[in-house]
């Protein structure tokens, strides 16, 4: 077995082991070929990278009758410099973007020749390969990352690659080899295809690693804060509509919080032109929070209309009271001017004006009307409608996305 290290540009994502076996038919001895194994290694993407890095222990084997020998040794263990003296397959990675051969402390290559002419050629490579990712279901998404390889110059009439074993034996994953931080390795599949180009037909060998993203990180960092923000916005429904500062703070703060969560969640994704599952969840949460703010504005609007109507009756009462006071004061002035100067203060009617029972009744009437308007019917309905709708949305959302399981034909489950 060989150790497979999956590394990202900024994160160590995990390790696992796998072995691949193929047959290579050299052009000179195509009719006298034998089986030979080769080993490859890999590394997987995070949410913001559509490529993965593969650390490959690349093992190839073929049979060449020109290299048969007889002697006291059954296997010749040769220096890596001998690889340039014999024929070797020109295997390359079709979806590789960059490849590096390891040369520390010496070139990481191995060459062995058996007495029957079978050759084993192993090298260590680091390949940066593309992984097509569809993020519509992010972060409940699944991906199939391929690794494609084949001959660069030899057509199918000259060199043919063949899987010598079934999928479970061609790619072997150790039981304790998969330790990915953001993904679960569901399994792998192997197959081959023939592609046509202007220079001929070529054999392409493929290994697909099927991954499912772990959702725990996104639940803690995005989903739970969004849910708590929506619940916090609905607390304002239980405040009196006269508490304008408190309800305004609730509405504006929750809207700004949802905006911040939306921006931070989008920064962890590549700039795709479609909405992901997380985008839909954040958009709905934003709609609930914004609706709570609009609900308060509606309640406050109708509250002002009610107070304006009540104010008219209060103004009429105050006008009547003012006219009475004016008459009383005029009468008091007349009495003061024409009364004999006896040195005694005469009681004036204006004193009784301060204890007018009509004023107390009007104030009590206004206070009663204030108490009646303290709870709005809109608030009463919102206390039930908003939580019920949000709960239904969560049930539909999680039931839809969590029950989506990728169906892959001939997949070998990871052990």
d(CA 375, CA 302): 12
Most confident of 6-15, 16-25, 144-153, 305-314: 144-153
At 71-90, the pLDDT tens digits run 888 999 998 888 888 999 99
Res. 151: pLDDT tops 70: yes
Q: How confident is the model at residue 342 (pLDDT cuts 50, 70, 90)?
A: very low
Q: What is the DSSP string of 176-189?
A: T----SSEEEEEEE
d(CA 401, CA 140): 7
Burial of 117-153, coded b for 16+ CB within 10 Å and e otherwise, reads bbbbbbbbbbbbbbbebebebbbbbbbbbbbbbbbee
Q: CB of 18 within 8 A of CB of 57?
A: no
Q: Which helix (H) or strand (E) holds 119?
A: strand 118-130
Q: How confident is the model at residue 21 (pLDDT cuts 50, 70, 90)?
A: very low
CA distances from 18 to 23, 58, 108, 235, 360 (A): 17, 11, 19, 54, 91
Average pLDDT over residues 337-359: 48
Q: How confident is the model at residue 115 (pLDDT cuts 50, 70, 90)?
A: very high
Residue with tokens 């954040």: 282
Considering only 141-155, 235-249, 303-317, 362-376, which range has the smallest mean pLDDT?
303-317
Determine the pLDDT at residue 224: 96
More confident residue, 284 or 242: 284
Q: CB of 111 within 8 A of CB of 120?
A: yes
Q: CB of 28 within 8 A of CB of 87?
A: yes
Q: Which residues, 6+ apart, have CB-to-CB distance to 10 below 8 Å?
A: 46
Please state the pTM of the whole predicted model.
Answer: 0.70
Q: CB of 178 within 8 A of CB of 9?
A: no
Res. 37: pLDDT tops 70: no
Angle, alpha carbons 353-359-363 (nearest 5°): 155
Determine the pLDDT at residue 162: 83
How many other CB atoms are found less than 10 A from the CB of residue 34?
19
Instruction: Return the HEC string of 284-353.
Output: HHHHHHHHHHHHHHHHHHHHHHHHHHHHHHHHHHHHHHHHHHHHHHHHHHHHHHHCCCCCCCCCCHHHHH
Determine the pLDDT at residue 36: 37
Average per-residue pLDDT for the chain: 75
């Amino acid at each position: 077995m060989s150790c497979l290290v999956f590394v990202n540009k900024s994160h160590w994502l995990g390790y696992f082991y796998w072995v691949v076996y193929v047959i290579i038919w050299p052009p000179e001895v195509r009719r006298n070929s034998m089986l030979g194994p080769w080993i490859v290694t890999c590394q997987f993407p995070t949410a913001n990278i559509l490529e993965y890095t593969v650390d490959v222990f690349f093992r190839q084997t073929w049979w060449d009758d020109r290299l048969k020998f007889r002697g006291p040794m059954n296997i010749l263990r040769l220096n890596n410099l001998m690889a340039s003296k014999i024929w070797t397959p020109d295997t390359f990675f079709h979806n590789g973007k960059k490849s590096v051969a390891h040369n520390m402390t010496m070139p990481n290559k191995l060459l062995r020749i058996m007495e029957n002419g079978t050759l084993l050629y192993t090298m260590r490579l680091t390949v940066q390969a593309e992984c097509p990712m569809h993020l519509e279901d992010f972060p409940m998404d699944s991906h199939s990352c391929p690794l494609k390889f084949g001959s660069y110059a030899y057509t199918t009439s000259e060199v043919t690659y063949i899987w010598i074993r079934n999928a479970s034996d061609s790619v072997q994953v150790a039981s304790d080899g998969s330790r990915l931080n953001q993904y679960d390795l569901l399994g792998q599949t192997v197959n081959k295809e023939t592609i046509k180009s202007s220079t001929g037909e070529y054999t392409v060998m493929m290994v697909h690693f099927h991954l499912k993203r772990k959702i725990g990180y996104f639940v803690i960092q995005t989903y739970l804060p969004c849910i708590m923000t929506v619940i916090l916005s609905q607390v304002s429904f239980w405040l009196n509509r006269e508490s304008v500062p408190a309800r305004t703070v609730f509405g504006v703060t929750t809207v700004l919080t949802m905006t911040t969560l939306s921006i931070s969640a989008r920064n962890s994704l590549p700039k795709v032109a479609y909405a992901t599952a997380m985008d839909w969840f954040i958009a709905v949460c934003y709609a609930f929070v914004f609706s709570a703010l609009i609900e308060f504005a509606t309640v406050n609007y109708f509250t002002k209309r009610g107070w304006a109507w009540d104010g008219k009756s209060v103004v009429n009462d105050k006008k009547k009271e003012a006219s009475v006071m004016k008459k009383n004061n005029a009468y008091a002035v007349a009495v003061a001017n024409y009364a004999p100067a006896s040195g005694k203060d005469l009681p004036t009617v204006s004193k009784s004006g301060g204890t007018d029972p009509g004023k107390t009744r009007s104030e009590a009437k206004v206070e009663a009307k204030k108490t009646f308007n303290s709870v709005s019917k809109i608030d009463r309905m919102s206390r039930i409608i908003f939580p019920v709708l949000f709960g239904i949305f969560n049930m539909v959302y999680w039931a839809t996305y969590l029950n989506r399981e990728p169906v892959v034909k001939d997949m070998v489950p990871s052990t």
